[in-house]
Structure 1
Amino acid sequence: MSFINHSSKDGIIGLLVGDAVGVPYEFLDRSIIARQPAVDMIGYGTHQQPAGTWSDDGALTVALLVSLVHHPQLDTIDLGRRFIQWYRQGLWGAHYEVFDIGIATRKAIALIEKDPNHPEQAGGHDEYSNGNGSLMRILPLIYKLVDQDASTRLDWITRVSSLTHRHPVSILGGIIYVEIGIQLLQASSRMTIKDGYQKACQIINSEYADYPEIERYQRLLSGSIDQFPIEEISSSGYVVHTLEASIWVLLHTSNYRDAVLQAVNLGEDTDTTAAVAGGLAGIHYGYDQIPSDWIKQLARLEEMLEYCEQFDQQGES
């Protein structure tokens, strides 16, 4: 695999840290946060959790990561079982508890419990099932799919997303995110985030031109989402908004710390925007550029690093 020189801890810890920075501010309006903007990793706030606590975003990302360690060719039955372990036992949570879960994800996991042998049929597939609940957890596939062809990427992303979100808009959001991540993963040291983003846009616009849902991502796929003013960037839980906001902050900052803080300061779904942006920022800037004081506060840090190492070793074999 060509990511052999890139440890998955760049993206995974980048996502978990971003998630944790955003947790205390979740649901707060942008104007409220503006009175006392996020400038550091703190604890408590919205969910009354200690500093370094990731949410459902991080937990389900870890569930996918660990599932891929044990089932490198993807086993969605195993993945569904791990989702249930998190929901019922808090197994992949920062402190072995569930304090936040999206409505669509909760419904989907309940359906997986009823029919564990067909988890890919559990996700909602109507127009109102396009929250960011599959986008927030799909980052491990960037590393798995970096050397795969377009059909394999589409198949895997569709299957992983469908456990909770089966609508084409949600699936396409995952496809765009993974493609941007792959471009950043493969990038030379001279490639900027904007270079990687624009190259990914070209690929998506070419390969998915016939998908009617691509119109939803027109602003993002124009290659110039950074030209939109902040007032036109929404940070709600809608998958299109989350993806736009995440890429927007990456294009308006030049380091990991600023990207995550900017994501949080957009307000609303702060943990997910910061997790989605933080994962890509981690891939681009590297683990060593994530603030060490934030990493030190991250819950279950050594365990998470061990999972990343196992995942990398599995990828090299």
Structure 2
Amino acid sequence: MNPITTALLGLSVADAIGVPVEFQSRDELDKNPVTDIRGYGTYNQPPGYFSDDSSLAFGLAESLATGKFDLVDQAKRLINYKEHGYWTPEHQIFDIGMTTQQSIDKLSSLLRDGREAELPTLHESARESDNGNGALMRIFPLYAYLRDKPVTEWIAPIWQHSALTHGHIRSACCCFLYLRFCAHLIHKETKEKALEFARRELLDFLVVANLPIEELDALATLIKADFSTLARTQVQGSGYVVECLEAALWCLFNAEDYRDTVLKAVNLGRDTDTTACVAGAPAALLYGVESIPANWLAALARREDIIELGNRLAGVYKV
């Protein structure tokens, strides 16, 4: 199976494992840990139903499958999700982040007023509060568009897409590190080497960008930490983009297969579906689609649609 389809299945299955226990605390999950696929719970959804994390990733994949990087089209698909349940399990929304919701309303206003030209510059008005994990969770499909481009050309489209909802440079840096990490996994590097190379590439960008010291401080753990020795108490499954990526990497570096990676992510608590989603794509790339438990994959909502979308996107960019 091609890596695009593998990753889309990996992120959406993981998302679905986390959905029933979203917002539960770590203490609650330590007492009743998730050990297999569940249903209902937080949102009363059947087993295998994915959240906005996957839906918005699929919307980006659909846009890129047109063969273009088109911010207007990407914005329209975000709007379509909020207004019509686009790419949800049953064309009905049951979960959407507050920042994402507010940002999509702003996109609707811009397009309604004929101000599409402002889309590429949304990051210029970003605030530090625009650092939720809503861009990170959906960013993987952008790999298909970027894969053959020089690394120095990756940050601009990543930041432009991220800024449709989360425009701060910190969010863009996390998305960049994550995508480069996935790229190196696709090229069959070990997870240790993949992170080493991605960190080096992020540092190259940071030197050129000359970011304020507080940004370097915020990214310090992502850049320096040995996630294989970091204690579980030092990571948080939160909605903050930096902590979300730290938690996903911690899970990847403290597990030896897809199943254990995802369960570790979910059982960190709080933003369970997104932590799992962010860990799920690289875990599937690392261990293969065959590593996804068969009963999890069988239960996944719209599984055949996801496979068709992944194959179509991979075909457009010859991945």
1:33-68 CA distances to partner (integer Å, 9 max, x unpaired)?
A: 011101111101111111111101001000000000
8 Å CA contact 1:246, 1:274 repeated in 2:
yes
Question: Where does residue 182 of structure 2 map in the other structure?
Answer: 181
Q: How many pairs were matched up?
A: 309
- Return the letter of the residue paired with 2:206: Y
- Return the letter of the residue paired with 1:262: K
- Return the letter of the residue paired with 2:108: E
In the TM superposition, 1:148-297 aligns within 5 A as 148-187=149-188, 191-209=189-207, 210-212=210-212, 213-297=215-299
Question: Where does residue 17 of structure 1 map in the other structure?
Answer: 13
Measured on the aligned residues, the alpha-carbon RMSD in Å equals: 1.6
Distance 1:294 1:313 in 2: 26
Question: Where does residue 96 of structure 1 map in the other structure?
Answer: 91
8 Å CA contact 1:172, 1:214 repeated in 2:
no
Q: Which moved more, 1:208-217 or 1:265-274?
A: 208-217
8 Å CA contact 2:57, 2:140 repeated in 1:
yes
8 Å CA contact 1:109, 1:122 repeated in 2:
no
1:158-208 CA distances to partner (integer Å, 9 max, x unpaired)?
A: 111010011111111111111111111112xxx421221122112222332
Cα offset, 1:215, TM superposition: 2.5
Aligned to 2:306, which of 290, 300, 304?
A: 304
% identical equivalent positions: 34
Question: Where does residue 32 of structure 1 map in the other structure?
Answer: 28
- Return the letter of the residue paired with 1:211: L
1:93-122 CA distances to partner (integer Å, 9 max, x unpaired)?
A: 122111111111111110111112244455
Distance 1:114 1:193 in 2: 42
TM-score of the aligned structures, taking structure 1 as reference length: 0.93
Cα offset, 1:152, TM superposition: 1.9
Runs of 4+ in 1 over 4 A off after TM superposition: 120-124
Distance 1:121 1:45 in 2: 40
- Return the letter of the residue paired with 1:183: H
Cα offset, 1:225, TM superposition: 2.7
- Return the letter of the residue paired with 2:97: G
In the TM superposition, 1:37-186 aligns within 5 A as 37-70=33-66, 72-116=67-111, 117=116, 118-120=118-120, 125-186=126-187
Q: Which moved more, 1:17-26 or 1:143-152?
A: 143-152
Distance 2:122 2:293 in 1: 38
Distance 2:243 2:315 in 1: 35
Q: Which moved more, 1:17-26 or 1:199-208?
A: 199-208
Distance 1:132 1:14 in 2: 18
- Return the letter of the residue paired with 2:26: R
8 Å CA contact 2:121, 2:160 repeated in 1:
no
Distance 2:143 2:36 in 1: 28
8 Å CA contact 2:10, 2:284 repeated in 1:
yes
- Return the letter of the residue paired with 1:113: S
Distance 1:163 1:120 in 2: 9
Distance 1:211 1:294 in 2: 42
Cα offset, 1:227, TM superposition: 2.2
1:8-33 CA distances to partner (integer Å, 9 max, x unpaired)?
A: 11111100001000001100100000
8 Å CA contact 1:6, 1:185 repeated in 2:
no
8 Å CA contact 2:64, 2:142 repeated in 1:
no
TM-score of the aligned structures, taking structure 2 as reference length: 0.93
Distance 1:89 1:208 in 2: 39
8 Å CA contact 1:112, 1:122 repeated in 2:
no
Distance 1:120 1:64 in 2: 16
Distance 2:266 2:211 in 1: 32
- Return the letter of the residue paired with 1:200: A
Distance 2:201 2:216 in 1: 13
Unaligned 5+ residue runs, structure 1?
none
Distance 2:159 2:199 in 1: 19
- Return the letter of the residue paired with 1:172: C
Distance 2:91 2:38 in 1: 20
